[in-house]
Amino acid sequence: MTGDDLAFQPATALAGMIRDKQVSPVDLVQAYLSRIDRLDDGLRAYVTVCRDAALAAARAAESRRGRGAPLGRLGGVPFAVKDQFDTKGVTTTQGSKLYADRVPDETATVVARLEAEGAILLGKLNMTEFALGGTQDFPFGQPRNPWHRAHDPGGSSSGSGIATAAALAAFTLGEDTGGSVRSPAGFCGVVGIRPTWGRVSRHGVFPLSWSMDAPGPLGRTVADVAMVLAIMAGRDPRDPLTSDAPVADYPAAVGSEVGGLRIGMITELTAGPDTSSEVRGAIDTAAKLLGGLGARVDPVSIPTLPLAGAVFMALADSEGAGLHMDALRTRPLDFDRGTRRRLIAAGLLPTAITQEAARARVIIRTEVLRAFDRFDVLLSPTAPSTAASITAMRAPIESGEEAARRFFTRRSFTTPASLAGLPAISVPCGFSVAGLPIGLHLMGRVFDESTLFRVAHAYERATPWHQRRPAE
Amino acid sequence: MAEATGLALDTDDLVEVTHRLNAFLHALAAIRALPLATVEPVPLPPADA
């Protein structure tokens, strides 16, 4: 197997190959470093590559293996994390010039948990500034979609989507407030999950919205994501909002059949006016396939969902504006102009209107939860269309209508789960004529990530999409 | 409004911030058709979470 073939192996397979002494952890780290050297100038997935530390960790893993010491569930497997996660002694920028030189003295809980299971940190990944989305001039390089470099990779965990799809790491971490794991997963053709709010610690993760932030993994297979989430999840005394609820055995859900499950296909998101015919066709085909596997798929209407994007942005962006107000006053030009304008607009929203949005959130959440009286999983596209071109993303905004179309419409596909605090996964479900990936979005009940893994894996096993590789 | 909040805006910023603010005001006008007075604006997910 060549280094490139090795790099594209699932993380779970790599862990087994290392345990069985079929692969050296040092060779594996070098395989990923070689791909980063060759491809990342064009893709800009990484902000920082921890070359020496990763090689040292790989040599230590090889030595442990030689002594017969336990390696951990992900022993020797290289991963990378969004630059929103604190890493002791490694620059953590939040994708912003304002934090370009910040070196934390502590590592985020979830990163530490993965390292404790033997995973090796390869580096820190590019992101839209402060996890907001809409960055115009990326201070650490323009991230590009590996399937078509003129296109956006999605955000805010842009580098996480790129590095996973282009095999610049075995798996990655992102943080999802309104879709920031699921959007890059969908646009880059990989798997990404937003866990139930409170399932995963946010300690050491730079905040955007306290009631919606949710760190989550991205991988090239559903089994990889299930394995990584199993390690990340659970109570953390340093994050008082993590739940005491027991963590399910996610890897055990992978491989279960879907017969008898009830799946609701959300009419407003699947067949609404904003959804492209290519995306709608791919989702219809996926729904039929799941029906053929024994699930019962029926349409469900949730009329308030098209409002979710605007409600989400009114709430999350206002929080963001509050968080950054001091720097907006004192160092406005150190913000990217897209971030600055987005935060200022939200900061000027009248409080009475954000209070109305907070009430609308409760109504949307109630409607979504009510749908789970009839269904186990809610199905829709991850986005209404494939990834936009970078040129289109950078075009000036000429009117309020255009701003609404550009910022609210797409977010209405991922933010219902965020507003409701529910888990949701994006899994590849096809490609457009232009060769850009399409994502299938599955939303589940509170703490029922297992059913999402069950459905996503059944779909993945029956389709070829996860086996494709982007051209170099 | 920006000045009152202590924020400096150049001309380009002002144009785009105005469009973005108008987008919010227009989109959020639609939520007034919902029974907003019947619920409390509690941001936490349900108790079983």
Write the pLDDT tens digit of every residue in A2-60. 899 999 999 999 999 999 999 999 999 999 999 999 999 999 999 999 999 999 999 99
pLDDT of residue A129: 98
Nearest residue, CB atoms, B23 vs list A355, A356, A407: A407
Q: Which residues of A are catalytic?
A: 82, 156, 180
Q: Which residues of chain A are within 8 Å of residue B41 when distances are taken between CB atoms?
A: 355, 358-359, 361-362
pLDDT of A352 higher than 90: yes
Q: What angle do CA A219, A223, A227 make, to 5 degrees?
A: 85
Which of A358, A369, A404 is closest, CB to CB, to B41?
A358
Quickly state the pLDDT bin for B48 (edges 50, 70, 90): low
Q: How far is B18 from chain A (nearest CA, A)?
A: 7
Mean of pLDDT over chain A: 97
Query: Percent of chain A beyond pLDDT 70?
Result: 100
pLDDT at B49: 45
ipTM for this model: 0.94
Residue A429: pLDDT above 70? yes
Q: What is the pLDDT of residues A295-328, one digit of tens each?
A: 999 999 999 999 999 999 999 999 999 999 999 9
CB B42 to CB A332 under 8 A? no
Sign of the CA dihedral running A43, A47, A52, A56: negative
Q: Identify which of B24, B37, B39 has the shortest CB distance to residue A345.
A: B24
At residue A46, what is the residue type?
A: Y
**What's B6's DSSP letter?**
T
B31:A311 CB<8 A: yes
Inter-chain touch A396–B9, beta carbons under 8 Å: no
Tens-digit pLDDT profile for residues A205-243: 999 999 999 999 999 999 999 999 999 999 999 999 999
**Has residue A127 got a pLDDT over 60?**
yes
Phi then psi dihedrals of residue A426, to 5 deg: -110, 130
User: What is the reported pLDDT for B43?
Assistant: 75
Distance from CA of B11 to the nearest CA of A (A): 12
With a cut of 80, say whether residue B45 has pLDDT above it.
no
pLDDT in tens, B14-43: 999 999 999 999 999 999 999 999 998 887
Secondary structure, 3-state, chain A: CCHHHHHCCCHHHHHHHHHCCCCCHHHHHHHHHHHHHHHHHHHCCEEEECHHHHHHHHHHHHHHHHHCCCCCCCCCCEEEEECCECECCECCCCCCHHHCCCCCCCCCHHHHHHHHCCCEEEEEECCCHHHCCCCCCCCCCCCCCCCCCCECCCCCCHHHHHHHHCCCCCEEEEEECCCCCHHHHHHHCCEEEECCCCCECCCCECCCCCCCCEEEEEECCHHHHHHHHHHHECCECCECCCCCCCCCCHHHHCCCCCCCCEEEEEHHHHCCCCCCHHHHHHHHHHHHHHHHCCCEEEEECCCCHHHHHHHHHHHHHHHHHHHHHHHHHHCHHHCCHHHHHHHHHHHCCCHHHHHHHHHHHHHHHHHHHHHCCCCCEEEEECCCCCCCEHHHHCCCCCCHHHHHHHHHHCHHHHHHHHHHCCCEEEEEEEECCCCCEEEEEEEECCCCHHHHHHHHHHHHHCCCHHHCCCCC
